[in-house]
């Protein structure tokens, strides 16, 4: 057969790099299928084991009220964190005032709070037995309960002060990227400052506000630690309660409903972002922050920013303070009465106390390595595959990002409980391996997204140049693409590592008895009234997060202009 004849029949033809993409895509799709998609289906099937009767709980039982409560709390969190985040963003991008520099740094502190210990610190700061209510009670004589944040109010407070960064970051980026000349044009055409904000700035911020709102809603729906401490019966709480009481079917049904809600939000978010992707960012006149003038205005602004800084930094400070208390000594006093270094000495010297740290760090490291391998290769395949398969892979790997940790836990428990062909005969329940698998599933989207962002910045012709110079597709990936992605990938992987290191929500559902992860150990210690020890772990967690964030910052923005090779 001549080449000519053979080719005439084909319209779409593939080149060798296309084939390389397919060769990689198949094993990746297989792994994502086994660890992400099949567990979701397993949960769905479990919920229908007796014909789906358990779903009746959503029309009459506790599931119904739990779902409604979850949705209401999430909507409320969107509003409150939206207001706090947007105000902070406007203040910090548009005005110059005393204390702005420190406020800018402190505004990001909530991102550095470990999820479990963060919520716990709010409980001991604002709850009915917390520092502030007790202080107010002793000053004013009011009962502490009257001024405390408890129950739903407590959950809302935790949500607001930990989730406003989603708004703060997106609105800041939107404000900083907007073109000052547009606002000047509006004012030049005779609109007042207020009208200009309403008709020009707010519409431009809509994408930032919408994505902040969707993200906050998703995270709120998934929230588990805050409801647990304040004993608020959200859907996530009901799932864990059902699982603990052995009612796997109900837990699966509740997980399925929560998954559907979350995935719908993920899809809405992607759809919305695609709609907006053509929006051009004009590089017009840069924005300048307005300095506040006048002595009184500056003093007032300085005091306000001091107050905000104190509020935002208080949870972290509380964690550090409580880390030094002697276990069991803080009863009804405003502040803990006795302090010691013993909690840290104990962690370092007692192998039993050190063990949770080792378990969490090692399992998280394993999960990070797997996430790098799968996340990076998938990002490459998605970027280079010119077919519909790319978006399927993209969706598959991003699914766990939408899923609440509780649901991921339930999914794994249902899928890997007994050997089936679909889980390749793996039984993970009760084994140590269930932890890295869970962390991998939860945090591979982080690595994937960072890797995808890095690839988007690589000019495809650089890869072509390598092939043109005789490099095979694999060699091109190894010597050109991967080195160029390295910085973004390392940053994403470090983030995945700290998330895994502090992971609580899925861990508490799945952890094997002999291997307590760090966050579960913190919970247990707090439960046993060993507050000092619990918070000492928390302080160490914060230190790890801080160190990793600094490393990540250095990796992404190295000081010297260019390193020589």
Contacting positions for another protein (CB under 8 A): 3-4, 7-8, 10-17, 459, 461-462, 464-473, 475-476, 479-480, 483-484, 561-562, 564-565
Pick the closer one to another protein by CB: 199 or 468. Answer: 468
CB of 481 to another protein, least distance (A): 10
Q: For residue 74, which of 256, 222, 287 has the smallest C-alpha distance?
A: 222
Could you give phi then psi for residue 95, rounded to 5 degrees? -125, 150
Q: Which CA distances in Å does 532 have to 5, 331, 540?
A: 79, 13, 12
CB of 490 to another protein, least distance (A): 14
Instruction: Determine the Cα–Cα distance for residues 477 and 182; give it in Å rounded to an integer.
Output: 43
Instruction: Determine the Cα–Cα distance for residues 247 and 228; give it in Å rounded to an integer.
Output: 19
DSSP-assigned letter for residue 143:
-
3-state SS assignment for residue 96: strand
Pick the closer one to another protein by CB: 342 or 467. Answer: 467
Instruction: Determine the Cα–Cα distance for residues 326 and 341; give it in Å rounded to an integer.
Output: 9
CB 459 within 8 A of CB 71: no
CB of 376 to another protein, least distance (A): 16
CB of 465 to another protein, least distance (A): 4
3-state SS assignment for residue 291: strand
CB of 542 to another protein, least distance (A): 34
Instruction: Determine the Cα–Cα distance for residues 338 and 358; give it in Å rounded to an integer.
Output: 29
Pick the closer one to another protein by CB: 331 or 457. Answer: 457
Instruction: Determine the Cα–Cα distance for residues 401 and 407; give it in Å rounded to an integer.
Output: 11
**Which phi-psi region, left, alpha or beta, contains residue 412 (left: φ > 0; alpha: ψ -120 to 50)?**
alpha
Pick the closer one to another protein by CB: 22 or 271. Answer: 22
CB of 474 to another protein, least distance (A): 10
Pick the closer one to another protein by CB: 24 or 505. Answer: 24
Pick the closer one to another protein by CB: 392 or 482. Answer: 482
DSSP-assigned letter for residue 277:
T
CB of 471 to another protein, least distance (A): 5
CB of 454 to another protein, least distance (A): 12
Pick the closer one to another protein by CB: 15 or 273. Answer: 15
CB of 564 to another protein, least distance (A): 7
Pick the closer one to another protein by CB: 7 or 278. Answer: 7
Nearest-10 Cα torsion for 179, 185, 188, 192 = -70
Q: Which two tokens stand for residue 535?
A: 């918070």
CB of 557 to another protein, least distance (A): 15
Other beta carbons less than 10 A from residue 540's beta carbon: 20
The DSSP result for 441-488, as a single string, is HHHHHHHHHHHHHHHHTS-HHHHHHHHHTT--HHHHIIIIIHHHHHHH
Q: Which two tokens stand for residue 7?
A: 């080719």
Pick the closer one to another protein by CB: 30 or 474. Answer: 474
Pick the closer one to another protein by CB: 279 or 459. Answer: 459
CB 400 within 8 A of CB 501: no
What residues does 290 pair with on adjacent strands?
95
């Amino acid at each position: 057969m001549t080449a000519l004849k053979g080719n005439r029949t084909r319209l779409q033809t593939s080149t060798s790099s296309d084939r390389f993409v397919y060769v990689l895509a198949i094993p990746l799709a297989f792994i994502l299928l086994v660890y992400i998609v099949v567990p979701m289906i397993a949960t769905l099937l479990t919920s229908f084991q007796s014909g789906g009767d358990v779903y009746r709980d959503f029309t009459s039982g506790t599931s119904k009220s739990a779902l409604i409560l979850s949705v209401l709390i999430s909507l409320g969190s969107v509003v409150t964190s939206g207001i706090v985040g947007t105000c902070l963003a406007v203040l910090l991008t548009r005005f110059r005032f005393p204390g702005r520099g420190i406020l800018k740094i402190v505004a990001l502190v909530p991102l550095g709070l470990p999820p479990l210990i963060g919520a716990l610190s709010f409980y001991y700061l604002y709850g009915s037995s917390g520092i502030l209510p007790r202080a107010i009670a002793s000053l004013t004589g009011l009962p502490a309960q009257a001024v405390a944040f408890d129950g739903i109010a407590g959950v809302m407070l935790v949500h607001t002060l930990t989730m406003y960064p989603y708004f703060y970051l997106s609105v800041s980026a939107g404000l900083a990227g907007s073109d000052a000349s547009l606002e000047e044009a509006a004012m030049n055409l005779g609109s007042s400052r207020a009208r200009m904000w309403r008709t020009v700035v707010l519409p431009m911020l809509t994408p930032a506000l919408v994505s902040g709102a969707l993200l906050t809603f998703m995270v709120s729906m998934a929230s588990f630690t805050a409801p647990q401490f304040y004993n608020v019966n959200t859907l996530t709480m009901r799932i864990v309660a059902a699982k603990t009481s052995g009612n796997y079917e109900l837990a699966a049904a509740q997980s399925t409903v929560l998954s559907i809600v979350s995935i719908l939000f993920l899809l809405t978010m992607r759809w919305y972002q695609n709609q907006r992707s053509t929006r051009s960012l004009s590089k017009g006149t840069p924005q300048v922050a307005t300095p506040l003038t006048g002595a009184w205005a500056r003093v007032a602004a300085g005091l306000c920013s001091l107050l905000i800084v104190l509020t935002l930094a208080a949870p972290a400070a509380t964690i550090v303070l409580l880390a030094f208390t002697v276990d069991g000594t803080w009863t009804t006093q405003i502040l803990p009465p006795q302090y010691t270094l013993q909690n840290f000495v104990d962690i370092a010297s007692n192998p039993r106390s050190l063990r949770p740290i080792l378990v969490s760090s090692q399992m998280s490291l394993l999960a990070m390595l797997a996430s790098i391998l799968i996340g990076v290769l998938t990002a490459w395949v998605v970027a280079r595959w010119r077919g519909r398969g790319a978006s399927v892979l993209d969706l598959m790997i991003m699914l766990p990002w939408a899923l609440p940790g509780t649901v991921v836990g339930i999914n794994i428990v249902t899928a890997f409980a007994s050997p089936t062909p679909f889980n390749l005969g793996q039984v993970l329940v009760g084994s140590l391996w269930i932890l890295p698998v869970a962390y991998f599933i939860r945090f591979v989207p982080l690595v994937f997204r960072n890797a995808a962002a890095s690839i988007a910045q690589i000019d495809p012709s650089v890869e072509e140049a390598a092939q043109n110079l005789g490099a095979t597709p694999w060699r091109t990936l190894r010597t050109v693409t991967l080195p160029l992605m390295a910085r973004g990938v390392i940053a994403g992987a470090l983030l995945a590592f700290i998330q895994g290191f502090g992971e609580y929500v899925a861990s508490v559902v799945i952890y094997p008895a002999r291997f307590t992860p760090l966050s579960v150990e913190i919970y247990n210690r707090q439960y046993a009234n060993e507050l000092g020890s619990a918070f000492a772990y928390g302080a160490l967690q914060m230190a790890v997060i801080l160190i990793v964030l600094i490393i990540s910052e250095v990796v992404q923005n190295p000081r010297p202009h260019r390193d020589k090779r």
